[in-house]
Structure 1
């Protein structure tokens, strides 16, 4: 397959898989850590109005969703990519970071969470995923040679 097409497919797959992981974790978060009493988490307006009720525990799953979604997407992109695997993984991280920045403007959150989320959930996770995927590919290639 043409490397450019393969890399484009890697990016698309990374975004789709990362988004699915992110949305899945957000979907189950309320059943594991229930929202505060009186919080309407079904709409953006409800979240904005009730954000002051949230405790630190309520930010665990959003952070995990962002970090693990980015990790999964970057890992898949790096696995599929024909070349420039780390760069494509970091590209996925930048894509999700842009979403995180947009989220900060749409939904007010505590400053501590905003910093932890934007600094720790996107680029570092994409880099780690890219590194793991390239090491996995090298190991698999060595096994095939043996």
Structure 2
């Protein structure tokens, strides 16, 4: 039973990371980095992030929100119990990652507010997983 919960958390986090990766990849396709800007050139990358339009930043928040919802859903389905612990753990990991990202990059206040709220969407994901199965 404990092994299933460990796999549930890992599964939820993997799904969340894949969603965030894909959403950010699409975002970079829509709003490509200028020539010479890479993740390794920290100051240039920070400037790129700061100059992104609001729409690009909304896409990032959407990615975090969808990732959290999906992590709650997937972790609950894998765990096959009616308890929210796995979903909560996934939400805590996502919250930590969001805080880390936002402290390293120039992020406006509205993004902090939305970003800190996004991980709580593990709860609707958890609830939906319960309604879609006989967990």
Smaller-chain TM-score bracket: 0.7 to 0.9
Unmatched runs of 5 consecutive residues or more in structure 2 = none
Give deviations 1:116-140, integer Å, cap 9, x for gaps: 1112x111x10000000011123xx
The answer to whether the aligner puts 1:101 opposite 2:102 as a matched pair is no
Q: What does residue 34 of structure 1 align with?
A: 31
Structure 1 runs (4+) greater than 2 angstroms displaced: 35-40, 49-52, 82-85
* Unmatched tracts of structure 1, length 5 or more: 142-146
Any idea what the Cα deviations from partners look like across 1:3-26, whole Å, max 9, x if unmatched? Answer: 111111111111111111111111
Partner of 2:113: 115
Matched, 1:63 2:51: no
- Tell me the CA shift for residue 84 of structure 1: 4.8
TM-score (structure 2 length as normaliser) = 0.86
* Aligned-residue offset at 1:36: 7.6
Choose 1 or 2 for highest CA Rg: 1
Give the alignment's Cα RMSD to 1 decimal.
Answer: 2.1
Distance in 2 separating the partners of 1:90 and 1:39: 40
Aligned to 1:144: none
Residue of structure 2 in register with 1:135 after alignment:
131
Among 21, 24, 44, the residue aligned to 1:23: 21
In the other structure, the counterpart of 2:3 is 5
TM-score computed with the length of structure 1 as normaliser: 0.80
